[in-house]
Amino acid sequence: MKGVTILGATGSIGINTLDVMSRYPDRYRVVALTANSEVERLYRQCQTFRPRYAVMGNELAAEQLAARLRKELPGTEVLSGVSGLERVAALEEVDIVMAAIVGAAGLLPALAAARGGKRILLANKEALVVAGAIFMDEVRRNGAQLLPIDSEHNAIFQCMPDGFERGLAQSGVRRIMLTSSGGPFLHLPAAEFASITPDQACAHPNWTMGRKISVDSATMMNKGLEVIEACLLFNTTPGDVQVVIHPQSVIHSMVEYLDGSVLAQLGTPDMRIPIAHALAWPERIESGAGRLDLFEVARLDFEAPDLERFPCLAYAYEAASRNDTSAVIMNAANEEAVAAFLDNGILFPDIPRVIRGTLDELSPRRVTTIEEVLVEDRRARAAANGIIKEMKSDYCQ
Ligand code: NDP
């Protein structure tokens, strides 16, 4: 019986994880569930899964949850804030931590799981992008296991040979082909980007996801973050990671070997597949996902990404090639810009403008500690918000 903590249980990945786990009550036990502000949703999940701990983002939300659980589930201890998240990520009785908080907010709890030597199922790509080599060092030093949940990285992991950590060339691999659906605006002329609404940006053609990653998919920043993630997870450089637009999202990514063989992982676009894979690895369990019907799919298309209409991908390639805080700055600016767009404060094409402006305004630094990373993250958010404020005041005139 494996004890599991789900960080971000009320989100899209959290809900899918509970769905897979609920099929195997004899194999997995929910130890802790966490949310930020969705008290009602976490309360209902607690009723069903009866965790030992529940964590809310702040004290007020935690008090509200505790008041509802007190009589019904006196055995569930309610905690709050980052310290609560870090605690449930590192508990002795926990074997597996699903890191599914959105954004850099998930960094410290994911790091706590790494320091606790857990099996980390990493959905929260921003944590890895921001902490980079520092995160990977903590994983190695503490004997933690990092299994990717992003469908693309999970696919690459499945296609890689044993010992890939040594590097691609040493493992007989020539390059990684990272597929991308291209998002909802793949062929929309750039002139029409300014009229895109948040709801249109969140309506992904193939996947149902949280709102932040949906917007990232629409700007292709998601693919950019994934290029950086691939470099870190598979010990390679951005030149060896090719982005391939594949609108059907059936091939989740590919690995090309030195002899010319290309291995791919295919499946329906359902996050329960990578979640089940990483939960049970190296065994296989049923995920609940529908089976792939190639006759229904009928054809698979591929094209090159358009970096002019989707400059976020170019910014990420640039950040991936630098050994400094460019990725921290880019990620922070993106999170602030996406939040402003979802709030109807700025336009869709303003998102890359905010990121470019922030990258141009700040000089990236070399950092070696998480504390320095967090300082840089805050500095970038302040700069990005300055740019957003100016944009908003221009729109008001
Ligand atoms: P959602 O927005 O659906 O869920 C986010 C979760 O994180 C919620 O439980 C939310 O709580 C919690 N949360 C948000 N902010 C904070 C915070 N400041 N502190 C603590 N908890 C917080 O996101 P997704 O599930 O879509 O994505 C989660 C991560 O997985 C992202 O990094 C994303 O890029 C990645 N991912 C997602 C995929 C998908 O299919 N959805 C695919 C591949 C990767 P509350 O509900 O209370 O707000």
Distance CA 333, CA 394 (A): 19
Cα separation, 28 vs 343, whole angstroms:
38
Give the model confidence (pLDDT) of 137-174 as tens digits.
999 999 999 999 999 999 999 999 999 999 999 999 99
- Return the pLDDT at 206: 86
Nearest CA to ligand 1 atom 43: 150
Distance between Cα 74 and ligand 1 center (Å) = 27
Q: pLDDT tier at 397 (50, 70, 90 boundaries)? A: confident
pLDDT of 190-199, one tens digit each? 999 999 999 9
Q: Give residue 174 CA to ligand 1 midpoint distance, Å.
A: 33
Span 331-389, pLDDT tens digits:
999 999 999 999 999 999 999 999 999 999 999 999 999 999 999 999 999 999 999 99
Query: d(Cα 15, Cα 38) in Å, to the nearest integer?
Result: 13
Q: Which tens digits make up the pLDDT trace of 249-303?
A: 999 999 999 999 999 999 999 999 999 999 999 999 999 999 999 999 999 999 9
- Residues 327-343 pLDDT 10s: 999 999 999 999 999 99
Pocket of ligand 1 (CB under 6 A): 8-14, 35-38, 57, 100-102, 105, 123-126, 150, 207, 209-210, 212-213, 271
Q: What is the C-alpha separation between 29 and 47, in angstroms, rounded?
A: 14
Domains of the chain by start residue, with CATH: 2-149 (3.40.50.720), 155-267 (no CATH), 322-396 (1.10.1740.10)
The contacts of residue 385 (CB under 8 Å, 6+ apart) are: 336
Query: How far apart, in whole angstroms, are the C-alpha atoms of residue 141 and residue 118?
Result: 12
Residues 165 and 236 sit within 8 Å (Cβ to Cβ): no
* Model pLDDT, residue 241: 98
Percent of the chain topping pLDDT 90 = 97
Q: Is the pLDDT of residue 208 over 90?
A: no
Q: Which atom of ligand 1 is nearest to the CA of 150?
A: 43
Q: CB–CB of 101/210 below 8 Å?
A: no
Length reported for the chain = 397
Give the pairing type, strands 28-34 and 53-56: parallel
Nearest-CA residue for ligand 1 atom 26 is 210
Compute the average pLDDT of residues 54-70.
97
pLDDT band at 205 (very low <50, low <70, confident <90, very high): confident
| Ligand 1 center–CA 10 separation, angstroms | 8
pLDDT band at 207 (very low <50, low <70, confident <90, very high): confident
Distance 170 CA to ligand 1 centre (A): 35
What is the pLDDT at residue 250? 97
**Three-state DSSP string of the chain:** CEEEEEECCCCHHHHHHHHHHCCCCCCEEEEEEECCCCHHHHHHHHHHHCCCEEEECCHHHHHHHHHHHCCCCCCCEEEEHHHHHHHHHCCCCCCEEEECCCCHHHHHHHHHHHHCCCEEEECCHHHHHHHHHHHHHHHHHCCCEEEECCHHHHHHHHHCCCCHHHCCHHHCEEEEEEEECCCCCCCCCHHHHHHCCHHHHHCCCCCCCCHHHHHHHHHCHHHHHHHHHHHHHCCCCHHHEEEEECCCCCEEEEEEECCCCEEEEECCCCCHHHHHHHHHCCCCCCCCCCCCCHHHHCCCCCECCCCCCCHHHHHHHHHHCCCCCHHHHHHHHHHHHHHHHHCCCCCCCHHHHHHHHHHHHCCCCCCCCHHHHHHHHHHHHHHHHHHHHHHHHHHHC
Q: With cut-offs at 50, 70 and 90, classify the pLDDT of residue 104.
A: very high
Among residues 215, 217, 237, which one has the least CA distance to residue 228? Answer: 237
Confidence (pLDDT) at 54: 98
> For residue range 297-320, what is the model confidence (pLDDT) as tens digits?
999 999 999 999 999 999 999 999
pLDDT band, very low/low/confident/very high, at 105 (cuts 50, 70, 90): very high
pTM over 0.95, yes/no: yes
Nearest CA to ligand 1 atom 32: 124
**How confident is the model at residue 43, as a pLDDT?**
98
Out of 6, 36, 58, 227, give the residue to mutate to test ligand 1, the one with the largest number of ligand atoms within 8 Å of its CB: 36
Per-residue confidence (pLDDT) for residue 51, from 0 to 100 = 98
